[in-house]
Amino acid sequence: MTLPTGVHALVRRTHEDRVLQALREHGAMTRGDLAVRIGLSRTTLSEITSQLLVRGVISVSSDEAPRLGRGRPAERLTLDPAAGQYLGVDFGRRRVRIVVANAAHDVVASDAVGYDAAASWGERIAAAFDLVDRLGIERGLHFDGVLGVGIGFPGPFSPRVPHEPSEPVAEARRAGATLMRTAFAERFEAPVVLDNNTRLAGLAEATWDAAAGIDHLLYLRLSDGIGGGLVVGGRLVTGASGLAGEFGHISLDGNGERCRCGKRGCLETVASTDAILRRCTEAGVPVATLDELTDAAGTGDPIVVGVLREAGEAVGRVLGSLAVALNPSEIVIGGEIALVSDVIIAQAAATTAYELLPVGEYSPTIRGAVLGDEGGAIGAIIAIFQNSPLLAGYQSATNVAPAATPLRRSNT
Amino acid sequence: MTLPTGVHALVRRTHEDRVLQALREHGAMTRGDLAVRIGLSRTTLSEITSQLLVRGVISVSSDEAPRLGRGRPAERLTLDPAAGQYLGVDFGRRRVRIVVANAAHDVVASDAVGYDAAASWGERIAAAFDLVDRLGIERGLHFDGVLGVGIGFPGPFSPRVPHEPSEPVAEARRAGATLMRTAFAERFEAPVVLDNNTRLAGLAEATWDAAAGIDHLLYLRLSDGIGGGLVVGGRLVTGASGLAGEFGHISLDGNGERCRCGKRGCLETVASTDAILRRCTEAGVPVATLDELTDAAGTGDPIVVGVLREAGEAVGRVLGSLAVALNPSEIVIGGEIALVSDVIIAQAAATTAYELLPVGEYSPTIRGAVLGDEGGAIGAIIAIFQNSPLLAGYQSATNVAPAATPLRRSNT
């Protein structure tokens, strides 16, 4: 698929997008209903749907039951499940996870493959392409009609802000992003969206299998590092320069432990995997791995439980403060540490509830993540849906409402 | 103006809205350009613009210069400045402020009138109507073509969430909101939008006179109470149940002073007007009013400066944490306390910058508010613009992107 360019093509793609959006949200519809809902003339709508039918992106619904006494029923149009795929790709520190959905948004394949933490971007991309080939063979998928690729990767990233390289690490990350975007766009001839994988996991928790989606969600991920994602008004918040969600570096105690970021008392110094293993060991229960920690927590060792409660308390203070500010309806805690024991989430929920005392009539749901390792890749696919499968420009659409009109003062 | 009802009327109003939105954002346009931009057929567009012309909401642009060799230029359509007004009404604790803008978005009048802090909603509304009458006489405004009324009022409020009354105070507030909505809708026969006035002041700081508007802004207001507003993606964040922005009750110290909310160490216990006056007095500099505090700060009294620095430090810790999470491009500090001395904003800026250490390449602008007492009323007008002057339903549009489509798992 080669994307057309120019103003008229843009207008047409916008119309196509509205048609697909309507079919996605409402299922099969007649052309007449589509025209009314979208506000296009019947003529324009017919041109648009003809092209989409020719390209196989939509099809005529096959489950059309004849209705008595009303002649031939009006044809209903629907997204064609077999028309193509969406790829969600999550590049983690030590593995790439790929999730494949069909055009009707059913997940049809999911798998992961490991690489060395020191692997280059080129090696990671090669590993991802090998995995795609393998999934193609194992599942009989052809990937010749990929409608969009969503990519999650670690570290701060803005899908829409042109970055000014200002330090070597950030510059390398941006070079990696450009490399990935180019490699996947060339291989699949499809639009590519990129975002931070932890944020995407938050988006996935907000929308996965939910009847209506969660409009306002706070997502925190506890692992080697601590990050998160905010969903506001149904949309992922990237922030002004792509840095939104760095919850691990919210400081709770100016006199606390020194953090790798230079500050003291950051959430990461209390609730990251390393911090918890170290604190247990220092308190007299030597644990070197997550498995050992899980075992020790399972026996109810009071020192381990105490360390986990302290971590949960710190998590709850951060989540409580953010919930006072943002008023989410749901708070989700994910990551490997959340799976060690129920203690962390239970304590975090209790502390969050206390922090919400001043807004007593409001209590968000607090729960563990449900998506596990697939969250980032699934979120990457949802990011494609939210940003038009036929528009190449994630940059132009993400998270930005039309600018409000300024007021001017003439006289007062 | 009586708003039409029913599905076809709704579709037509949606089209009208798109036309007005385009004219608002892009200035005068030809019908041809409008049709392309909006994606309506020429026929449909002509019907829509004819009705808008008849109703005087838009007019034919008068500054049309003839273009050589191209015959009669295509007529350009524009919003008619004289076609009506927008009213912004901010009900504070002791005064109502009204700002009037014309249809071209120029502010043409602004004034305030006081009432007793114990005044009923009915008395406040009567005071507002008297002020409108007076502005009409003084400025020669007729208010017979009001296009929308925006109302700001104190306390948590959601413009779109149907509230379940759960406590007497909240119930009284909701009754007040209903009374205001009804009174203004009847008096001006126009759609009414309501929101929290502090949040609206934040929206105004983000969009007032800005060339492009600030997409991501954090606003904090220091006064008797401490509240704020978040703008994300150009939109005001109300939260899941209308409570977003309660920054005054973010706790900084679990062992700190008891707050009126029941928790300890909330920002309000350190940086509200009462807290600062009390802390100065307890430290040996008796000050009973803001004026006395301002005078004492003006002499550089070290105890007063110390108390203000502590307040600024606390403000900076809250703003820093929120900025780490939300990555705004601009942070604005308003309210009476911010005007007492430069010390608070200077210290808050320094502390915020320190809290942002882990995201070193990013530094938001931190500044004092520019709109003063008019902020809430101006924000109320901007809320009308953001929510269609011709659609009655602020509820249905605010802050909610179309729900993302759920993914389903078929097999993996």
Express each pLDDT in B220-272 by its tens digit: 999 988 999 999 988 889 888 888 999 999 999 999 999 988 899 999 999 99
- pLDDT higher than 50, residue B393: no
Lowest mean pLDDT, pick from A47-56, A163-172, B282-291: A163-172
Chain B residues in contact with A235 by the CB 8 A cut-off are 233, 401
The structure tokens listed for A99 are: 């999730």
Tell me the pLDDT band of A214, cut-offs 50, 70 and 90.
Answer: confident
Tell me how far apart the alpha carbons of residues A332 and A204 are, in angstroms, rounded to a whole number: 11
Q: Nearest by CB to B361, from A167, A327, A361: name it.
A: A167
The structure tokens listed for B382 are: 């901007």
> A207 lies in a domain?
no
Q: What is the pLDDT of residue A411?
A: 41
Cβ contacts of B78 within 8 Å, gap of 6 or more: B23, B27, B28, B58, B59, B60, B61
Q: In angstroms, what separates the C-alpha of B286 from chain A's closest C-alpha? A: 30
Decide which of B52, B82, B112 is a domain's last residue. B82
| CB atoms B399 and A213 under 8 Å | no
A261 touches chain B (CB under 8 A): yes
> B405 lies in a domain?
no
Q: Which of A203, A101, A77 is nearest to A152 (CA)?
A: A203
Q: What is the pLDDT of residue B143?
A: 87
Q: What is the pLDDT of residue A174?
A: 74
Q: What is the pLDDT of residue B64?
A: 52
Q: Report yes or no: B399 and B236 within 8 Å, Cβ to Cβ.
A: yes
ipTM: 0.79
Q: Nearest by CB to B215, from A44, A235, A400: name it.
A: A400
Tell me how far apart the alpha carbons of residues B245 and B227 are, in angstroms, rounded to a whole number: 6
Chain B residues in contact with A378 by the CB 8 A cut-off are 407
The radius of gyration of chain A from alpha carbons, rounded to an integer in Å, stands at 24
Side chain identity, residue A49 = T
B407 touches chain A (CB under 8 A): yes
| CB atoms A39 and B233 under 8 Å | no
| CB atoms A213 and B328 under 8 Å | no
Tell me the pLDDT band of B8, cut-offs 50, 70 and 90.
Answer: low
A21 touches chain B (CB under 8 A): yes
- pLDDT higher than 80, residue A210: no
> B18 lies in a domain?
yes
CA distances from B61 to A112, B23, B73, B344, B357 (A): 61, 11, 11, 49, 52
| CB atoms A232 and B233 under 8 Å | yes
A173 touches chain B (CB under 8 A): no
> A198 lies in a domain?
yes
Q: In angstroms, what separates the C-alpha of A131 from chain B's closest C-alpha? A: 14
A184 with A273, same domain: the answer is no
Q: Report yes or no: A223 and A403 within 8 Å, Cβ to Cβ.
A: no
Q: Nearest by CB to B261, from A242, A357, A386: name it.
A: A357
B59 with B26, same domain: the answer is yes
Question: Residue B74's domain is classified under what CATH number?
Answer: 1.10.10.10
B97 with B197, same domain: the answer is yes
% of chain B with per-residue pLDDT over 70: 81
Chain A residues in contact with B244 by the CB 8 A cut-off are 325-327
β pairing state of B192-196 and B146-153: parallel
Mutate to test the interface with B, among A232, A235, A373 (most CBs of B within 10 A): A232
**Which residue segment(s) compose the domain that B231 sits in?**
211-369
Express each pLDDT in A105-154 by its tens digit: 778 899 999 999 899 999 999 999 999 999 999 988 888 888 899 999 88
B88 touches chain A (CB under 8 A): no
> A404 lies in a domain?
no
Lowest mean pLDDT, pick from A11-15, A123-127, A214-218, B14-18: A11-15
Q: Please give the backbone phi and psi of residue A10, each rounded to the nearest 5 degrees, phi first.
A: -65, -45
Q: What is the mean pLDDT of residues A210-223?
A: 81
% of chain B with per-residue pLDDT over 90: 48
B316 with B233, same domain: the answer is yes
B238 with B319, same domain: the answer is yes
B358 with B379, same domain: the answer is no
| CB atoms B412 and A239 under 8 Å | no
A172 touches chain B (CB under 8 A): no
Chain B residues in contact with A364 by the CB 8 A cut-off are 240
Q: Nearest by CB to A245, from B322, B325, B378: name it.
A: B325
Number of domains in chain B: 3
Q: What is the pLDDT of residue B166?
A: 53
B364 touches chain A (CB under 8 A): yes
B107 touches chain A (CB under 8 A): yes
Lowest mean pLDDT, pick from A46-50, A123-127, B180-184: A46-50
A196 with A109, same domain: the answer is yes
- pLDDT higher than 50, residue A298: yes
> A407 lies in a domain?
no
Q: What is the mean pLDDT of residues B191-205?
A: 91
Express each pLDDT in B292-331 by its tens digit: 999 999 999 999 999 999 999 999 999 999 999 999 999 9
| CB atoms A410 and B108 under 8 Å | yes
% of chain A with per-residue pLDDT over 70: 81
Find residues 300-339 of chain A whose CB sits inside 8 Å of chain B. 317-318, 320-322, 324-329
Q: What is the mean pLDDT of residues A282-298?
A: 96
Mean pLDDT of chain B: 82
A107 touches chain B (CB under 8 A): yes
Nearest-Cα residue of chain B relative to residue A12: B39
Q: What is the pLDDT of residue B151?
A: 95
| CB atoms B237 and A232 under 8 Å | yes
Q: Report yes or no: B192 and B185 within 8 Å, Cβ to Cβ.
A: yes
Express each pLDDT in A255-271 by its tens digit: 999 998 889 999 999 99
Chain A residues in contact with B317 by the CB 8 A cut-off are 251, 254
Tell me the pLDDT band of A167, cut-offs 50, 70 and 90.
Answer: low
B245 with B281, same domain: the answer is yes
- pLDDT higher than 60, residue A27: yes
Between B172 and A334, where is the model more confident? A334
> A19 lies in a domain?
yes
| CB atoms A233 and B228 under 8 Å | no
CA distances from B100 to A73, A98, A408, B108, B236 (A): 54, 55, 11, 6, 21
| CB atoms B216 and A386 under 8 Å | no
Decide which of B50, B82, B114 is a domain's last residue. B82
Tell me how far apart the alpha carbons of residues B24 and A18 are, in angstroms, rounded to a whole number: 23
Decide which of A29, A52, A81 is a domain's last residue. A81
Mean pLDDT of chain A: 82
Q: Report yes or no: A156 and A242 within 8 Å, Cβ to Cβ.
A: yes
Q: Report yes or no: A90 and A193 within 8 Å, Cβ to Cβ.
A: no
β pairing state of B192-196 and B106-114: unpaired
Q: In angstroms, what separates the C-alpha of B219 from chain A's closest C-alpha? A: 11
A371 touches chain B (CB under 8 A): no
B171 with B313, same domain: the answer is no
- pLDDT higher than 50, residue A2: no
Question: Residue B276's domain is classified under what CATH number?
Answer: 3.30.420.40
> B411 lies in a domain?
no
Between A206 and B284, where is the model more confident? B284
Q: Nearest by CB to B326, from A244, A329, A382: name it.
A: A244
Q: What is the mean pLDDT of residues B181-189?
A: 93
Q: Which of B205, B227, B223 is nearest to B369 (CA)?
A: B205
Chain A residues in contact with B408 by the CB 8 A cut-off are 105-107, 209
B93 with B158, same domain: the answer is yes
Tell me the pLDDT band of B161, cut-offs 50, 70 and 90.
Answer: very low
B95 with B69, same domain: the answer is no
B119 with B268, same domain: the answer is no
